């Protein structure tokens, strides 16, 4: 007697596969062809990630020993890093306003000299050409840095430095008289 839920069928020997493990080995073969490439991809990505972690660790360790190396890597191409700032020395001849517009387009400003070390750095890299800095004034107004702070004679870094006339915007000729009295104060001991 047969249960109505179960169906039985007699299979002739010719309908059975010659190798009983045939179906199992075919499934295994398909799985193997998918697993090996996936395995190699995961291994490759793991090696890449480990390499990047090692490289970043080496750079970070080098940054603690030589901060200029770390900053140099952070500056855009053709820019020079110094004391957590990036500087670009252009060979283009432009007026102050055009130079500041260029800096704006680079998400930057004309240089604001904040220390003797920075001034010496700028002098070392400026070459024979004159360059604009971020100091200007309206006629009859005080000198102001690009960030809006006033420059005063009490500032540690002066405007005039032998051999670097570019710190004085050439279009402000009336400033030459007042600036002639400004000189570089003695450099503090290091």
pLDDT per 10-residue tile (average), the chain, 190 residues: 56 55 57 75 84 72 52 75 86 84 86 81 78 82 84 51 39 34 39
d(CA 61, CA 157): 33
Q: What is the pLDDT of residue 63?
A: 53
Annotated domain spans of the chain: 88-179
In eight-state DSSP terms, residue 149 is: P
Q: What are phi and psi of 103, to 5 degrees?
A: -60, -45
For the chain, how far is it from start to end, CA to CA, in angstroms? 107
Among residues 187, 188, 169, the alpha carbon closest in space to that of 179 is found at: 169
In this structure, is the dihedral angle defined by the CA atoms of residues 170, 87, 121 and 187, taken in order, positive or negative?
positive
| CATH entry, 88-179, from 1.20.120.1200, 3.10.100.10, 3.50.50.60, 3.30.40.230 | 3.10.100.10
In contact, 99 and 90? CB cutoff 8 Å: yes
Q: What is the pLDDT of residue 90?
A: 84
Q: What is the pLDDT of residue 88?
A: 87
Among residues 76, 73, 44, the alpha carbon closest in space to that of 58 is found at: 73
Q: What is the pLDDT of residue 180?
A: 32
In eight-state DSSP terms, residue 21 is: T
Q: Which two tokens stand for residue 162?
A: 């032998």
């Amino acid at each position: 007697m047969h249960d109505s839920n179960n169906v039985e069928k007699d299979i002739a020997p010719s309908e059975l596969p010659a190798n009983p493990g045939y179906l199992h080995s075919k499934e295994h073969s398909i799985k193997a062809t998918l697993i090996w490439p996936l395995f190699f991809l995961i291994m490759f990505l793991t090696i890449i990630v480990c390499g990047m972690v090692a490289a970043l660790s080496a750079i970070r360790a080098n940054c603690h020993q030589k901060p200029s190396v770390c900053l140099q890597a952070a500056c855009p191409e053709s820019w020079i890093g110094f004391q957590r700032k990036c500087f670009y020395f252009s060979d283009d001849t432009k007026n102050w306003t055009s130079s500041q517009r260029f800096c704006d387009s680079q998400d930057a400003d004309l240089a604001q000299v904040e220390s003797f070390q920075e001034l010496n750095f700028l002098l070392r890299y400026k070459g024979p050409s004159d360059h604009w800095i971020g100091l200007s004034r309206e006629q009859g107004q005080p000198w102001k840095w690009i960030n809006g702070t006033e420059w005063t004679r009490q500032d540690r870094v002066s405007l005039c430095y032998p051999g670097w006339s570019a710190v004085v915007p050439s279009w402000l000729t009336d400033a030459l008289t007042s600036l002639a009295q400004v000189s570089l104060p003695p450099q503090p001991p290091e």
